[in-house]
Chain A
């Protein structure tokens, strides 16, 4: 036993606090509504067959169905046929809770479409952020021009402005331009990332001036230096920035909620969660948590894939 056991204890407690909501989310996404309500069933629930009440309600046999099915149940009166049909429907509508939750997540709302929207929006934002931030950061870090320090001061100042403070003016501007309910409304306000400019500028400060001078001697223009020299050396920093940017915009609920009103084709994944927010008749926690699990999975997978590169990038000084 090492003397550092208490450090591990603190870390384990922290890990539990961080992981508990994820545990609940994944667990709920497997369980039946009854198990969720009563808080029983362990992690997986008992996975007993359950009947989807809405499925049954939607397929309630009518007069025509009874007439059509009469031949299949000879010698039964109407009530008998109806009971038999109901039993069939219930058999059709019964499934394991896990299957129920996940199939609901994908069928009740066009979740695939939402995920696609999420990819389109986050990738567009990230790419445009790089296109803007890299040249800006290069200029702030390596070029000498009048007012450079003042401009950098402005960048730092902009870091202090909370998004929510400028949400309303932004919304009004977009509305006046007729851009609400478009991809542009989701992407454009985020294309200039002062955080990205700041982060890349700090990284570029560590790139030796000699490297840039060598590129100039070799005949590269300033833009070629940004894209052919600075970009490849900045991959570790870009990965770090990518994690911040993509996580923030993939998970963003506030901004899409404001600028996308009504048009479900533009919903991003977090907006999809609203589909299961039952207003009068209670919430569908199972499908909702299944949706949440589906939404966070791509991020976790992406981080696990990039993790090695990311940490390598941060520990490698790159230039030396």
Chain B
């Protein structure tokens, strides 16, 4: 068990720069998710941590020890792959035993016929067998030990892959989209099991996913990656409620955050020509972007800030998402309604929307969050 530190790691494949100087500190026993759209470099980063890929520059340290240039096997990390990567010709027990056999048995002791009879081999083999048994019990796959991977279901293979990872008691677990080959129901179940496993083992987990729900539900911290950079690394609630970049805000949260253009002139903030409030600070004139979560928008009968007509409704039972085309604009926003309000958001109905400016996030034209500007906003007019 150990923490990890990644220091300004860069990676380029030919002309394309996949990682542009990533720095990340991971505490011992922490569960960190690397999340981002495909092609953002998260898998490459994981492979560099694992030692399967060499960084172009930068350093990786595991528990204060620099491992750059160290062979993957000697870093004592375990990896779970998206395709499980079980050895198809070995049984489940043999699959789980491979890392231990490679580590503790000598080359001659691994020989098929005479190997078991060499001095010291018996004890080591017994140790390995009991470690395999222990791992199998923890993952509830004891009954499957004699089967081949081809005879297992996806979920069972996933457990075997986890077993192979945890049996070597690694410094850290690296998981590369381990749930994406499972069906939706099994995914939810396995998600909970991996989180439990993390608590039980109290080990460092680095989890790569493109699924924000997995990242939100399992992690201690989420590192949102885009275009080869970590945009923000924080606890899930911070990432959701207090993103520092518009790309993070848009990526996390489903349905997506609504982005509306706002204008600032001499400290006055206006949205589609309506005055929204005044800012004491940052009185420069600029075009900013206003981020509003679907749940920040309310249906309003009187004095609506925005009006429009409902073009699409998604009823999820516990909540209803309505897409509203704003009246004077080509902008479309998504708004969350309670099931009791369902009759108000029928298709084609015209609705009024309002929001509390305190729920809104303000970004500059480049997408950087304007926290000081937000803090200095006052709301003179009753927007709601």
Contact = CB atoms under 8 A, between A and B. Distances in A.
B72 interface: yes
A208 B79 contact: no
A233 B85 contact: no
A1 B61 CA distance: 74
Contacts of B89: 232-233, 235
A211 B83 CA distance: 8
Interface of B is mostly: mixed
Nearest to B83: A210
A226 B295 CA distance: 55
A229 to B, nearest CB: 6
A219 B81 CA distance: 16
A319 B81 contact: no
A213 B79 contact: yes
Contacts of B74: 219
Contact of A214 (B85, B103, B150): B85
Nearest to B176: A210
Interface of B: 47, 50, 52, 72-74, 77-79, 81-89, 98-99, 102-103, 150, 164
27 contacts: A208-B83, A210-B81, A210-B82, A211-B83, A211-B87, A213-B50, A213-B52, A213-B79, A213-B85, A214-B87, A215-B98, A217-B50, A217-B52, A217-B72, A217-B78, A217-B99, A218-B98, A219-B73, A220-B102, A229-B87, A232-B87, A232-B88, A232-B89, A233-B87, A233-B89, A235-B89, A319-B88
Contacts of B150: 320
Contacts of B98: 215, 218
Nearest to B102: A219
A80 interface: no
Contacts of A218: 73, 98-99, 102, 164
B85 A211 contact: yes
A309 interface: no
Nearest to B81: A210
A214 B96 CA distance: 12
A210 B85 contact: yes
A178 B81 CA distance: 54
A232 B86 CA distance: 13
Contacts of B78: 217
A219 B87 CA distance: 14
A217 B102 CA distance: 10
Interface string A193-234: 000000000000000101101111111100000000100110
B88 A216 contact: no
A214 B86 CA distance: 8
B73 A217 contact: yes
Residue from A214, A217, A218, A220 whose CB has the most chain B CB atoms within 10 Å: A217
Contacts of A153: none
B135 to A, nearest CB: 14
